């Protein structure tokens, strides 16, 4: 195997694989040539067949043309593993600088972090401008004039290749993520001051979360919504079925929900934005994190429309007194090799294991390296952007267990700057990612993250059976099995007298029995209890949802759960289409009686503070369990 490239793996380590290296000796003259100066280097030894390791005397400047010279032969030097070292983090990162295209009527500043690139060019409306390199890998150019609405992308020379990449900080896109678009945010239509009605939400466990997908919510022909499947469709009020039953945002308000949690609404893959009706996706294939999804826009050819209509939807929820939580997917990207992160700084933004292989704890081919400084910066900057520009009220972190604790702490700190209460929650599963366990955001770290909620899988599995065993039984469908766990679950899973605490504070337990993932509760009950009649399964379903709503912690409902939502047995409907995923508003009519039952439970929870106690001491003082015959559970408040 021959090569003309020498790879810089650490501040003093250089490796070269090429034919003929076995003839090298410690006396062979060696030299590294740079643009401004030369550097000393000497042979350390031969590693395996045709691979030599060299020692560099002093740190080499990254992002410059460097070459290793051996007896008349010239080998280009490019950074490899060095970009994942502490030395690199200390010398080539900048948490404070604002990145992206910062646009006003008079000028636009383009800033890109690309420390290993040797040149960066800006293509702006087919004109080409060169960026100047500054300290710590920042490239910048300022262009006078009004560039609002112009398309742009970057061309970089990095590791010997010319690549085209869209700015990861872009705020707008052409259809199907073809190019970034410059935006003067001050000229967007949308809210300036939010009409809110948050007097009822004085603490996080006052929240009642309702998980919904923008397209699912209104795509049904019976939804009564004009702009079906769109941001502004979900903003329409006073919509009804043909028989006059409320739908959409009006229905959600009538139910008593305090916060909707939207499945990812940032730009994602697998849906052709020009013909969205031909494909479907939940949104867990992220492309660009600061741009709303184009398939939810009524005019994807206008890059600003999706931004303005997304704001209109959020504003509509706020006017109804409902907060908006975004489901965000910072744990991976759709395709690593095609992402702007990998093109701009190869090897930096993704996690690698000890063998130098790309980590895949998320199961989708890559793990975003949240622990690296500029990766963390991007995440925190994105959170701040959605808080400021779109005025959202919380974030749900997909596969949060693959994210590092320090990044979640930084997010928590940023959110505490807001005057309104910001809800943070996530999946704290311990995933096999290449991150030390003590750094992962798992429930045992709850003491370090007092304002972060964790999905309570013990609560879920105790009530309906172990998730990944389709026939496993729980309390509601197994004749009262696991009744001994209920005192622990109902008291927020925080009191050690009832079990090993799941989290530190009661407002950190996200209680649920159903979400977008896996089978709906109704479909699971059909699997686990096939011989029971429909009425019996409905009673089981009511019991599970009732315990969810009246337990300490934060209750979480999946949209349609209150009317026994079915996905017709599909346990992984992420691309299954509207027929499977749409909210069936006709079924909302059929099961109106159960909806009323759920509405009354929500009213009870909101009316009586005993169901929303703030601390472990309050729970101990006010909740007592009676001695009754199992599987009955007796509670005295």
In this structure, the answer to whether residues 452 and 574 fall within a common structural domain is yes
CA 499 and chain centroid, separation: 31
Is position 390 within any domain? Answer: no
Give the other-Cβ count within 10 Å of 186's Cβ.
Answer: 9
In this structure, the answer to whether residues 51 and 178 fall within a common structural domain is no
Supply the CATH number for residue 100's domain. Answer: 2.60.40.10
Nearest Cα neighbor of 489 from 542, 539, 553 is 553
In this structure, the answer to whether residues 38 and 59 fall within a common structural domain is yes
**In sequence order, what are the residues at sequence separation of 6 or more whose Cβ sits closer than 8 angstroms to the Cβ of residue 11?**
56, 59, 82, 85, 87
Give the other-Cβ count within 10 Å of 47's Cβ.
Answer: 13
Domain residues for 471?
A: 204-331+370-374+397-413+421-636
Q: Rounded mean pLDDT of 80-99?
A: 96
Is position 541 within any domain? Answer: yes
pLDDT tens digits for 134-148? 999 999 999 999 999
Nearest Cα neighbor of 394 from 254, 615, 209 is 209
pLDDT score for 27: 84
For 142-160, letters b (16+ CB in 10 Å) and e give: ebeeebbbbbbbbbbebbe
Q: Does the pLDDT of residue 30 top 50, yes or no?
A: yes
Give CA–CA dist 234/243, Å, rounded: 19
Is position 281 within any domain? Answer: yes
**Phi and psi for 562 in degrees, rounded to 5?**
-75, -10
In this structure, the answer to whether residues 446 and 515 fall within a common structural domain is yes
Give CA–CA dist 18/49, Å, rounded: 9
Is position 614 within any domain? Answer: yes
In this structure, the answer to whether residues 163 and 226 fall within a common structural domain is no
Rounded to two decimals, what is the model's pTM?
A: 0.97
In this structure, the answer to whether residues 597 and 546 fall within a common structural domain is yes
Q: Rounded mean pLDDT of 534-560?
A: 98
Is position 351 within any domain? Answer: no
As for how many domains the chain has, the answer is 3
pLDDT tens digits for 381-392? 999 999 999 999
Give the other-Cβ count within 10 Å of 64's Cβ.
Answer: 13
pLDDT score for 199: 45
Query: Which secondary structure element, helix H or strand E, spans residue 426, and what is its range?
Result: strand 423-426
- Percent of the chain surpassing pLDDT 90: 92
Q: Does the pLDDT of residue 200 top 60, yes or no?
A: no
Tell me which residues are annotated as active site. 398, 427
As beta bridge partners, residue 173 has 180
Nearest Cα neighbor of 543 from 560, 527, 528, 521 is 521
Is position 78 within any domain? Answer: yes
Whole-number average pLDDT of the chain: 95
In this structure, the answer to whether residues 312 and 431 fall within a common structural domain is yes
Residue found by looking up tokens 């996200």 in the block: 510
pLDDT tens digits for 576-607? 999 999 999 999 999 999 999 999 999 999 99
Q: Rounded mean pLDDT of 325-350?
A: 98
């Amino acid at each position: 195997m021959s090569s003309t490239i020498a790879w810089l793996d650490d501040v003093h380590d250089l490796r070269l694989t090429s034919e003929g290296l076995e003839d090298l000796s410690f006396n062979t003259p060696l030299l590294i040539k740079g643009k401004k100066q030369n550097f000393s280097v000497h042979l350390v030894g031969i590693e395996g067949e045709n691979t030599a390791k060299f020692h560099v005397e002093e740190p080499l400047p990254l992002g410059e043309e460097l070459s290793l010279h051996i007896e008349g032969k010239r080998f280009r030097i490019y950074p490899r593993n060095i970009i994942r070292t502490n030395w690199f983090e200390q010398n080539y990162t900048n948490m404070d600088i604002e990145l992206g295209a910062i646009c006003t009527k008079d000028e636009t500043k383009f800033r890109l972090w690309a420390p290993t690139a040797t040149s960066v060019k800006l293509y702006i409306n087919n004109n080409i401008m060169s960026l100047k390199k500054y300290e710590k890998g920042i490239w910048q150019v300022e262009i006078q004039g009004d560039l609002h609405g112009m398309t742009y992308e970057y061309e970089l020379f990095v590791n010997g290749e010319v690549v085209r990449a869209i700015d990861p900080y872009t705020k707008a896109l052409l259809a199907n993520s073809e190019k970034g678009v410059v935006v003067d945010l001050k000229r967007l239509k949308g809210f300036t001051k939010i009409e809110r009605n948050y007097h009822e939400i004085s603490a996080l466990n006052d929240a009642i979360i309702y998980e919904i997908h923008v397209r699912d919510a209104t795509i049904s022909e019976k939804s009564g919504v004009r702009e079906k499947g769109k941001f502004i469709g979900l903003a329409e009020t006073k919509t009804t079925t043909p028989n006059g039953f409320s739908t959409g945002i009006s229905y959600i308000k009538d139910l008593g929900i305090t916060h909707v949690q939207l499945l990812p609404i940032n730009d994602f893959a697998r849906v052709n934005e020009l013909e969205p009706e031909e494909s479907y996706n939940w949104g867990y294939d992220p492309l660009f994190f600061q741009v709303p999804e184009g398939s939810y826009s009524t005019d994807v050819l206008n890059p600003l429309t999706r931004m303005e209509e997304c704001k209109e939807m959020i504003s509509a929820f706020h006017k109804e007194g409902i907060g908006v939580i975004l489901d965000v997917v910072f744990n991976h990207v759709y395709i690593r090799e095609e992402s702007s992160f990998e093109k701009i700084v190869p090897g930096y933004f993704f996690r690698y294991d000890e063998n130098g292989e790309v980590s895949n704890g998320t199961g989708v081919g890559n793990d975003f390296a949240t622990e690296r400084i500029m990766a963390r910066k991007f995440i925190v900057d994105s959170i701040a952007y959605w808080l400021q520009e779109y005025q959202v009220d919380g974030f749900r972190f997909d596969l949060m267990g693959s994210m590092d604790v320090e990044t979640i702490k930084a997010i928590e700190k940023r959110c505490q700057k807001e005057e309104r209460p910001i809800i943070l929650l996530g999946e704290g599963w311990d995933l096999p990612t290449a991150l030390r366990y003590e750094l992962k955001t798992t429930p045992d770290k709850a003491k370090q993250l007092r304002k972060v909620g964790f999905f309570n899988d013990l609560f879920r599995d105790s009530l309906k059976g172990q998730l990944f065993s389709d026939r496993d039984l729980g309390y509601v469908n197994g004749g009262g099995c696991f009744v001994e766990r209920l005192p622990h679950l109902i008291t927020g899973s925080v009191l050690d007298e009832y079990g090993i605490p799941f989290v530190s504070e009661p407002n950190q337990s996200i209680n649920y029995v159903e979400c977008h993932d896996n089978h709906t509760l109704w479909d699971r009950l059909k699997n686990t209890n096939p011989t029971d009649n429909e009425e019996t399964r409905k009673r089981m379903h009511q019991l599970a949802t009732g315990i969810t709503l009246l337990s300490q912690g934060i209750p979480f409902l999946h949209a349609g759960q209150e009317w026994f939502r079915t996905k017709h047995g599909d346990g992984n409907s992420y691309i299954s289409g509207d027929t499977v995923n749409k909210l069936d508003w006709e079924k909302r009519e059929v099961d109106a009686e159960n909806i009323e039952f759920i509405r009354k439970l929500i009213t009870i929870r909101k009316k009586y503070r005993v169901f929303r106690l703030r601390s472990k001491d309050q729970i101990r003082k006010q909740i007592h369990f009676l001695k009754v015959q199992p599987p009955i559970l007796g509670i005295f408040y």
